[in-house]
């Protein structure tokens, strides 16, 4: 199943409190539960003004649907074509 990178523009994201991040996570999980098992949240990374999320889903439309139902920004949504890390240099 495809993996997607979602960029969420959220000014001040890096200053969100642990309680804020928990509430965002809970909302996301609630929407995921309603959408069904075909979409999965893998991990997110918080920077100063954005949150970058990795999702597994059958298509970008489902990722967009998750964002709309949760009230989250999601622009752009990019399909991940490959992954590399330091071990790639050894292959």
Query: Residue 9 has what pLDDT?
Result: 96
Strands in 1-91 per DSSP E: 3-9, 40-46, 50-56, 77-80
Q: What is the CATH number of the domain that holds 74?
A: 3.30.70.3090
Residue 75 lies in a domain: yes
Query: Is 89 domain-assigned?
Result: no
**Distance (Å, whole) CA 91 – CA 29:** 37
The answer to whether residue 91 is domain-embedded is no
Pairwise CA distance, residues 16 & 35, whole Å: 26
Q: Can you give the residue range of the structural domain that contains 18?
A: 3-82
90 within domain boundaries: no
Q: Is the pTM of this model over 0.85?
A: yes
Does residue 87 sit within a domain? no
**Mean pLDDT of the region 38-43:** 97
Q: Tell me the pLDDT tens digit for each residue of 80-89.
A: 999 999 999 9
Number of domains in the chain: 1
């Amino acid at each position: 199943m495809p993996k997607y990178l979602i960029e969420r523009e959220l000014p001040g994201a890096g200053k969100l409190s642990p309680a804020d991040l928990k509430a965002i996570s809970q909302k996301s999980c609630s929407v995921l539960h309603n959408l069904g098992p075909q979409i999965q949240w893998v991990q997110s990374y918080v920077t100063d003004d954005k949150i970058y999320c990795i999702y597994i889903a059958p298509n970008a439309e489902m990722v967009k649907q998750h964002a709309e139902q949760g009230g989250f920004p999601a622009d752009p949504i990019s399909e991940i074509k490959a992954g590399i890390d330091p071990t790639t240099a050894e292959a």
